[in-house]
Structure 1
């Protein structure tokens, strides 16, 4: 039986490494983004994945895997922005930023482990295209919650959707590798 916890850690290590390298290149310029802009970035990424899955024509040299990594990193950025708010300061402390990255990655892992227990790792039998559609649905839900100024009557909030998109993207990357 696969060790989902170790597979999750392996995927997050790849994502964290890229995040940290981009932070060296760009600083934390993403700090200026409002949550709705982050959601739209995730929308762009998942929409591209869906297009690639439905057409098999790729005109930009970025793989589906690259886009799933971006969804994970943007989801963590979204969670950080929900906590800290957006800022005009684009040079946030790197150590603090990485602590926040690790905090939210760990929270996502804990959530994934609880849900995997209850759902019996059903995602392992799903197609990557179906999981992609779930991410797409979550991003559309997130956009609707943002359009409602964060108000929900019975649904989970923005953070829950970011966590789900992150975990679904991790599942897709695990499925690509195994």
Structure 2
């Protein structure tokens, strides 16, 4: 489990570094995005990963790694939106966003550690393509919950699905040695 924790942190450090650099370029313009818009952005990335896994020809010179990083960062944006609400204008400094990013990562990593303990690191024997399919399944669940105005009867909420997607994407990046 210790190895997993270090690998997890290394992946998140890469994702966070890119996130902070993009904050320098764009600010937090994403704060105006509603959850369904973020869900759709994640869906586009997951669909592209699946296409890359299934098609031999690539017309854009970006691989799975950058798309999985995008999934992680968009999911963290969504979790921040759930916590803070949608803004009319960019309203957070890089320092505030970094703090919120790290908070969501800590919560999500703890969930991973708890599930990893119970499941015995079963993800290590999974294929990256299966992790991609699980992310797509979670996205379809989130879209259904969003279509139901956020209400569920017996299922986890949207936040738990975003957290699971982060963890699946981290596992995929560990498998890809990113």
Where does residue 172 of structure 1 map in the other structure?
172
Where does residue 145 of structure 1 map in the other structure?
145
Where does residue 80 of structure 2 map in the other structure?
80
CA distance in structure 2 between the aligned counterparts of 1:58 and 1:16, rounded to whole angstroms: 27
Please tell me whether residue 112 in structure 1 is matched to residue 144 in structure 2.
no
Where does residue 99 of structure 2 map in the other structure?
99
Please tell me whether residue 28 in structure 1 is matched to residue 28 in structure 2.
yes
Secondary structure of the residue aligned to 2:86 is coil
CA distance in structure 1 between the aligned counterparts of 2:13 and 2:164, rounded to whole angstroms: 18
Contact 2:52 2:63 in 1 (8 A): no
Provide structure 1 residue ranges, at least 5 long, that are not aligned to the other structure. none
Equivalences, count: 178
TM-score (structure 2 length as normaliser): 0.97
Where does residue 5 of structure 2 map in the other structure?
5
Please tell me whether residue 125 in structure 1 is matched to residue 125 in structure 2.
yes
TM-score (structure 1 length as normaliser): 0.97
RMSD over equivalenced CA pairs, Å: 1.2
Where does residue 56 of structure 1 map in the other structure?
56
CA distance in structure 1 between the aligned counterparts of 2:90 and 2:96, rounded to whole angstroms: 13
Contact 1:27 1:91 in 2 (8 A): no
CA distance in structure 2 between the aligned counterparts of 1:162 and 1:54, rounded to whole angstroms: 24
Contact 1:11 1:170 in 2 (8 A): yes
Displacement over 4 Å in runs of 4+: none
CA distance in structure 1 between the aligned counterparts of 2:75 and 2:133, rounded to whole angstroms: 16
